Amino acid sequence: MSDMTSMADAPRSPGRPRSVRADEAIVEATLDLLAEGSTLEALSIEAIAARAGVGKATIYRRWSGKDALLMDALGRLKGVPPQPAGRSVRDDLVLLVGAVGHNVDPRAAKIMPCLVPEVNRSPDHFQLYQNIVAPRRKLMREVLRRGVDSGELRADVDIELAMALLTGPMLIQRVLRWHPELDDQILPERVVDAVLEGLRAR
């Protein structure tokens, strides 16, 4: 018997499939360790396995390595990206901007601010972050392009710059609480309306 029993090797009990239970235990352990202060660099597969109550082999059967596991775990903090309805450029942008800096897991408040210096310091961690946010950027890019194609937005709009203008205020407010008197509930609408004022076709 191994020194650490894998949940995947434990007897099957009624309820959810054992593979799902193991997956969730591993992801939860990863997020718990990060929320408790472990850095991305210091976080080890050994520590994750010990916290999850599984063997290292159980983790490696599911993820190719730590970065792949981190991408899944950090992606869970963000939740599933909202899907634009496709009827109104403004409404779709408000929906997407409202999701910027919003996390479905309360541990994100401890984890995300601590990731900023690590993302800036490590090319690998920077790429990990890019892989997580790229699908969300793609959704916003598609909405802006739709606005240009329909004539609602100017033909010469710099879409990548527009995305930065829409995203930046939400990130700095929700991650750093830059201005405590700004109302998070209406900020997405205010940001979108301010940016669209300069993007709309005349």
pLDDT in tens, 64-75: 999 899 989 988
The amino acid that residue 67 corresponds to is D
Is the per-residue pLDDT at 4 higher than 60? no
Q: What pTM does this model have?
A: 0.75
pLDDT in tens, 130-163: 888 899 999 999 999 999 999 999 999 999 999 9
pLDDT in tens, 117-130: 888 888 888 988 88
- What's the rounded Cα separation, in Å, for the pair 171 and 159? 18
The amino acid that residue 135 corresponds to is P
Phi, psi dihedral angles at 153 (to 5 degrees): -110, 155
**pLDDT, position 3:** 37
Q: What domains appear along the chain, each with residue ranges and CATH number?
A: 2-75 (1.10.357.10), 81-197 (1.10.357.10)
**pLDDT, position 106:** 84
81 DSSP assignment:
P
pLDDT-derived band of residue 102, with 50, 70 and 90 as boundaries? confident
Phi, psi dihedral angles at 188 (to 5 degrees): -55, -45
Looking up tokens 């472990």 gives 38
- What's the rounded Cα separation, in Å, for the pair 33 and 45? 11
Is the per-residue pLDDT at 29 higher than 90? yes
